[in-house]
Structures are given as structure tokens and as C-alpha cells.
Amino acid sequence: MKKIAVFTSGGDAPGMNACIRAVVRTAIHKGHEAIGIFRGYQGMIEGDFQPMYPYSVSNIIQLGGTILRSARSKDFRTPEGRAKAYANLKANDIDGIVAIGGDGTFTGARIFMEEYPDIKMVGCPGTIDNDLFGTDYTIGYDTAINTAMQAIDNIKDTANAHDRLFFVEVMGRDAGFIAMSVGLATGAEAVLVPESKTDIQQLIHTLNTNYTNKKNSSIVVVAEGDDAGGAFKIAEEVQKHCPYETKVTILGHLQRGGRPTCMERVRASRMGVAAVQALLDGKSGVMIGEVKGEIAYTPFSQAIKHHNAINPMMLGMVDILS
């Protein structure tokens, strides 16, 4: 292996910088040169490369976002775009790549590797949604749930002060992991996730029972991708049949950034080390994951197709504990 490159792609996630740092320093520690590719696949096509040294990644472990930046690339969906990317990589003696991202990133990687198998690629799961198969935790998830939780803790202060019912929408287009964790952690009355059919009548019944029992506030956490529609739509429906004053908050993009948690930094570092090690061991086309505490390798094709299931016990806990 001559040079090992690293890039981030898709939505940014806290911990990406810790992972970049680990890739760069491990590559160099193992005797290789490290290259940073800026703005994901688009930068690969435009040759937006920069040599990375140990000090290039000093003091970034604690930063949210990604110093390598990210971008969508329409060009990479075309054979011409990928050909340019390949030419740039070859011209720069890059034969190993660590790709940090999610679904879209690994889909692109899979196509690229079929066309240009002499470039080895290993992925690290970088997305706050925790929706990749092959890892118990994605990079960004642990930070995102703490950020969302803090916001809902704040909202709960107001809910408690005013006899109010808040619908809070958190990120998760296809997966309810964020909603489930923050719902449990904030003592939400209900958690609505894409993985289970939402029963609005049941929800209204629960909330009305709470009201009768003099429970003076309630939080309902809604995953972005819930089947019953977004928080606004659900709140509107509930408001018609419920005596609480209803409010809606969409947490939105503030869930994405922020300082990574301790576990995030450790996990992202560990995955970055493992990714370089995997390349050096001749692995390619796999995503690094952490499964039951151990490093695991999952082919891109599987990581993309399947989804992690939410532990049904977790769903049951909401009913017992709220």
C-alpha cells in the first residue's frame, strides 16, 4: 500500500474528526503516507487532495462537523465522474481509502470498487441515525442522543410549568433509534418510530388517561420518519381530542453538530484504527462496525441493505416506565 486516503461524505456527524485523526495517525504510524480528500466524492473528482501529517489532525478530536468537509456529488453517479476520480487517485499514488459516511457513501463505494478493483476501500459508519447494519453504534449516534436529550430536558421544564403536551420531532428518517433512546431518557409518555405502526387512537387514549390522573405534562417523541406523519400532523390530530394545550418543536439540525461525547471519540478512534488495519490486512469492500463490543467487518452490500432492528424490550419499557 502506497498512500492511504480518507474522506467524509453524506451528512456530517460528531466523531468524524476523531475518526479522521485516527486514520491519519495510524496510517503514518504504520509507515504509510496519509492523504485527506476534501468534500467527499466531489473532491475526489476535482482532485481536492491534501497530504496529512500527525499535526494536521491535532486538536480536532473534540470538534463536531468534519475538517474534510462533505458534499453531495451528482458527478460521481456518472461513469465519467468516477473515471476522473480514479485518475486522480492513481495520479496521487493512492491505493487505499477509508470512507466515513452512511448509506449513500457505501453505495457509491460499492459501484466504484466494481469498476476499479485496484483501489481498496474500507468504510467507517458515520451517521447520527444508527441505521446501518453491521454495527451496534454508528459514529455520531451517542452524541446526537445526548444533544436531543438535553433539548428535551429543557422543554420538559416548560411542560411541567404549564400543563402542556409537547410533541418533539427528532431525526431518523428510516430508523427510530434516536427517538427511542431519548424518549426513554426523558421519560416521554410515548415514542413514535418508523419501525412500529403508530396507533393515534391509542395515543389519544393514553394522553387523556394521563390528564385525568392529573399528570400535568407530557412529552411525545416522534421520529422524523414515523408512519403517522411528522410531529405537526400528529399534534394537530391529537389536539382535537385532548384537553392539554399542545405544542410542537422540531429539533432539526442542531442534533447533528456539537462536541462528541467520550464514548463517541473512543469508538470513532477505534474504528479509524481498525479501518487502516483492515486495509493493511488486505480487506476491501467492508464497513468497520462494533458488534457486541468487538470490531466486525460487514460487506458494503449488506451494510446498506439491511437495517438494525430496535430491541422490542425497549419499546415495552416506554409503557412500563412513563
Q: What residues are designated binding site?
A: 11, 21-25, 72-73, 102-105, 127-129, 156, 164, 171-173, 187-189, 215-217, 224, 247, 253-256
Q: CA 145 to CA 111: how far, in whole Å?
A: 32
* Whether the Cβ atoms of residue 97 and residue 5 lie closer than 8 Å to each other: yes
Residues 233-252 binding a second copy (CB under 8 A) are: 247-252
Q: x/- string (CB under 8 A) for a second copy, residues 155-174?
A: xxxx-xxxx--x--------
Q: Per rule CB under 8 A, is residue 127 in the interface with a second copy?
A: no
Q: x/- string (CB under 8 A) for a second copy, residues 283-312?
A: ---------xx-------------------
Annotated catalytic residue: which of 129, 131, 142, 226? 129
Q: CA 80 to CA 47: how far, in whole Å?
A: 14
Q: Per rule CB under 8 A, is residue 119 in the interface with a second copy?
A: no
List 48, 103, 131, 142, residue binding a second copy (CB under 8 A): 142
Residues 61-90 binding a second copy (CB under 8 A) are: 61-66, 69-71
Instruction: Give 215: exposed, middle or buried? Use CB within 10 Å, 0-12, 13-18, 19+.
Output: middle
Q: x/- string (CB under 8 A) for a second copy, residues 187-226?
A: x----------------------------x----------
Q: Per rule CB under 8 A, is residue 265 in the interface with a second copy?
A: yes
Q: CA 245 to CA 165: how far, in whole Å?
A: 6
Q: Per rule CB under 8 A, is residue 149 in the interface with a second copy?
A: yes
**Contacting residues for 218 by C-beta, under 8 A, at least 6 apart:** 159, 164, 165, 166, 189, 207, 210, 244
Q: Which of 112, 51, 110, 104 is nearest to 84 (CA)?
A: 112
DSSP string, 18-72: HHHHHHHHHHHHTT-EEEEETTHHHHHHHT-EEEE-GGGGTT-TT-SS-TT----
Residues 4-23 binding a second copy (CB under 8 A) are: 8, 11-12, 14, 21-22
CB of 71 to a second copy, least distance (A): 7
Q: Per rule CB under 8 A, is residue 275 in the interface with a second copy?
A: no
Q: Per rule CB under 8 A, is residue 130 in the interface with a second copy?
A: no
Instruction: Give 314: exposed, middle or buried? Use CB within 10 Å, 0-12, 13-18, 19+.
Output: middle
Enzyme catalytic residues? 129
